[in-house]
Amino acid sequence: MSQAQTAPEHLTPQSEDFSKWYAEVVQRAQLADHSGVRGCIVFRPYGYGIWEHMQRLLDRRIQATGHQNAYFPLLIPESLLQKEAEHVEGFAPQVAWVTHGGDKELEERLAIRPTSEAIIGAMYSKWIESYRDLPLLINQWANVMRWEMVTRPFLRTTEFLWQEGHTAHATAEDCQAEVLRMLEVYRDFVETDLAIPVHAGSKSDAEKFAGAEMTYSIEALMKDGYALQAGTSHNLGQHFAKVFDITYQDEQGKRQHVWQTSWGVSTRLIGGVIMTHGDDHGLQLPPHIAPVQAVVVPIWRKPEERAAVLPFLDRVREALVGRVRLQVDDRDQYSPGWKYYEHELRGVPVRLEVGPKDVAKGAVMSVRRDNRAKESIPLEGLGERLPALLEEVQAALFLAAREFRDRNTSTAATLEDLVRHFQEDGRRGFVALPWEGSAVLEAQIKEKCAATLRCIPLDQSRFAGMAPAGRRVALFARAY
């Protein structure tokens, strides 16, 4: 492999400079490009393709749980945004404003949505009249804008793409059930399709969404040991219902405020995939979301070999059409070896080599991206074997990521232990600490070692024995 490392095209190793590695992968795998507008990236077809597969798989789950898609406006009148005090205060520094239409100054500034609670709340107040209108379960796929000081492709950009669910319920119990239901949808989606293991839990007051009663999140661990909030689900209580006057008449004819939730995941997940699975050879995409699940690389030396291989490629295509997202890389100007590096960089889960020897056997040689295991697959069985192989890769990526996450999760008995871990030992990862909910202690920790409370896991069973009886643990980490 010394050749790969000395080649001018080699990636900066993760261990040398993780940020640089990340930037290079994004650029060279052609996921995204800088646009010339601060913090706004262009999603190139390959990067956008990943997002489209995420959308498809998550949207299916959102709809299966009874939600409908809708679309609300990009622009929100200032007066609307200002109604919920805590909400405004939280977002004020990050809001971009439209002040002019043509060269005429507007009477009222319009915010480019940083999130849509306000405008959706205003509409819900018109739409909801009776308990028969509840629950109201709406999701929107949209772009939002938050003026960020420091940006990184996918992880934090000024404009990003996401989905935001907004629901209204008759009772606090229904509302809380929805919050947890969607958190579980996220957990299942991220673990099953993105192969990213997460901890689902609740946030502290310091970390909760501006205007929420309670925030829940799923938290992942990146390969550099930093935590990434991968999705959030908020219990908004009646805060927005009260300021936007969202009420319904119950069975007794009594007027009540609704209980609301909101929940979202964003294109940040693409960054999560990159930093969970990527290695020194580049990207590794979980097959479920890989735009190209398998790439065919034909090989020949002599014209007669070419004549034998080329028609065989059609038979490979035929065997896999409708079963596997396949790319046949028949570009003539690159050698097979060059293509191997290219597709590894782009994270294609499986490569299929088709040369004269394979054609003679009526088979293709498959090579896994994750462990480079080779397997000769006869053409007759290819249609069944390759999808199964892709599932094996998907499962292996998840297990490897979970093993890494667990290996980088430790425990601390006291504040001092925790600070020592992050500060003096310079370690990263998750640290579980017995937790009683002291905001003062949380602030101290943040100040002393820059670690924040990522979540208080809902499932405490895996931390059994770490906290005194009756006490829970909270997970701390340095975070993106």
Describe the crossing of helices 303-320 and 379-407 by its angle, rounded to 10 degrees. Answer: 70
The order of strands in the sheet holding 409-411 is 68-69, 136-145, 159-169, 259-266, 227-237, 214-221, 199-202, 452-457, 472-477, 430-435, 409-411
Nearer to RNA, 89 or 403 (CB): 89
Dist. CA 454–CA 412, nearest whole Å: 15
CB of 161 to RNA, least distance (A): 9
Dist. CA 346–CA 324, nearest whole Å: 17
Dist. CA 260–CA 117, nearest whole Å: 10
CB of 66 to RNA, least distance (A): 24
Nearer to RNA, 193 or 342 (CB): 342
Query: Token pair of 78, please?
Result: 């200032």
Residue 51 contacts by C-beta under 8 Å, 6 or more apart in sequence?
43, 161, 267, 270
CB of 473 to RNA, least distance (A): 21
CB of 205 to RNA, least distance (A): 11
CB of 380 to RNA, least distance (A): 18
Convert 201-216 to b/e letters by CB count within 10 Å (16 or more is b). bbbbeebbbbbbbbbb
Nearer to RNA, 122 or 144 (CB): 144
Query: Token pair of 229, please?
Result: 């909030």
Q: Do β-strands 32-34 and 41-43 pair in parallel, antiparallel, or remain unpaired?
A: antiparallel
Are the C-beta atoms of residues 390 and 396 closer than 8 Å to each other? Answer: no
Dist. CA 242–CA 314, nearest whole Å: 63
CB of 449 to RNA, least distance (A): 9
Nearer to RNA, 160 or 435 (CB): 160
Residue with tokens 């297990």: 399
Nearer to RNA, 290 or 299 (CB): 299
CB of 92 to RNA, least distance (A): 10
Dist. CA 218–CA 234, nearest whole Å: 12
Nearer to RNA, 108 or 447 (CB): 447
CB of 453 to RNA, least distance (A): 12
Nearer to RNA, 451 or 467 (CB): 451
In 308-423 the beta strands, taken as DSSP E runs, fall at 326-328, 350-354, 363-368, 374-378, 409-411
SS3 406: helix
Dist. CA 170–CA 313, nearest whole Å: 59
CB of 128 to RNA, least distance (A): 26
Nearer to RNA, 64 or 150 (CB): 150
CB of 369 to RNA, least distance (A): 9
Nearer to RNA, 282 or 457 (CB): 282
Q: Do β-strands 214-221 and 227-237 pair in parallel, antiparallel, or remain unpaired?
A: antiparallel
Nearer to RNA, 158 or 167 (CB): 158
